A and B are shown apart, each in its own frame.
Chain A
Amino acid sequence: DTGVSQDPRHKITKRGQNVTFRCDPISEHNRLYWYRQTLGQGPEFLTYFQNEAQLEKSRLLSDRFSAERPKGSFSTLEIQRTEQGDSAMYLCASSLGMPRANTGELFFGEGSRLTVL
């Protein structure tokens, strides 16, 4: 499978614990994005990497959130001291540096669903 993969698919944790999600983008894609989706809403942008550089962070990304892409390949999203409001689906997407001929579309993974008890 050469699509975007995310791990774990599901995570249940107690409030106050730390969690980490991993995303492996499509291998030739140099851009990587994290989105968060809560129930009944569309995905909301969190952060964006071009290669290993984190170029933009949303205000949604509080100090408890940190994302890395150390070698410009896979990325991790860590949430420290989780809160119940962090419960959501965390989606990773990747794209080529130069858009495809017409779309510049993002390719999404299946997401990591977080439940904070």
Chain B
Amino acid sequence: AQKITQTQPGMFVQEKEAVTLDCTYDTSDQSYGLFWYKQPSSGEMIFLIYQGSYDEQNATEGRYSLNFQKARKSANLVISASQLGDSAMYFCAMKKLSRGSTLGRLYFGRGTQLTVWP
């Protein structure tokens, strides 16, 4: 079974500072993808960043970067230069890429509520 663990129920960061949101995962699959989604109070899940298990470099998307440590099975999200609009729930998710798996089915963690203060 796939399992995503986010151990930080809530995180606080001051505007313009960087913050790291933790994510560890458990899978026996060799081929998988890792995602981070942002969910503001409106409810929509917004895709932020993706890392494939075979990608050698850590993914980056603007102010978002993924600190991927395969041996530790961790995929932490780093947000640089935090903005007030970054306040939201953040979910780490994983999908299997192996044959026979439901393509696109995501397994989510419980999320981390990030609050950015001025």
- Residues on A lying within 8 angstroms of B by beta carbon are 31, 33, 40-45, 48, 55-56, 89, 91, 93, 95, 99, 102-111, 113
Contacts and interface: CB of A to CB of B under 8 A. Distances in A.
A67 to B, nearest CB: 14
Interface in B44-102: 44-47, 50, 52, 91, 93, 95, 102
**Residue among B33, B104, B111 with most chain A CB within 10 A:** B104
A33 B105 contact: yes
B118 interface: no
Given A42-B111, A102-B50, A104-B33, A89 B104 contact: no
B1 interface: no
**Residue among A95, A104, A107 with most chain B CB within 10 A:** A104
A42 B47 contact: no
Contacts of B106: 43, 45, 106
A55 B102 contact: yes
A105 B43 contact: no
Contact of B44 (A41, A44, A110): A110
Given A45-B105, A102-B50, 15 more contacts: A31-B104, A33-B104, A42-B4, A42-B109, A44-B108, A48-B105, A93-B45, A93-B104, A103-B33, A103-B47, A105-B50, A106-B106, A108-B45, A110-B42, A111-B43
Contact of A42 (B33, B44, B91): B91
Given A42-B91, A42-B93, A31 B47 contact: no
A105 B34 CA distance: 10
Contact of B103 (A31, A89, A91, A107): A31
22 contacts: A31-B104, A41-B111, A42-B4, A42-B93, A42-B109, A42-B110, A43-B106, A44-B108, A45-B105, A45-B106, A48-B102, A55-B102, A56-B102, A89-B43, A102-B52, A103-B47, A104-B95, A105-B35, A105-B50, A106-B45, A106-B47, A111-B44
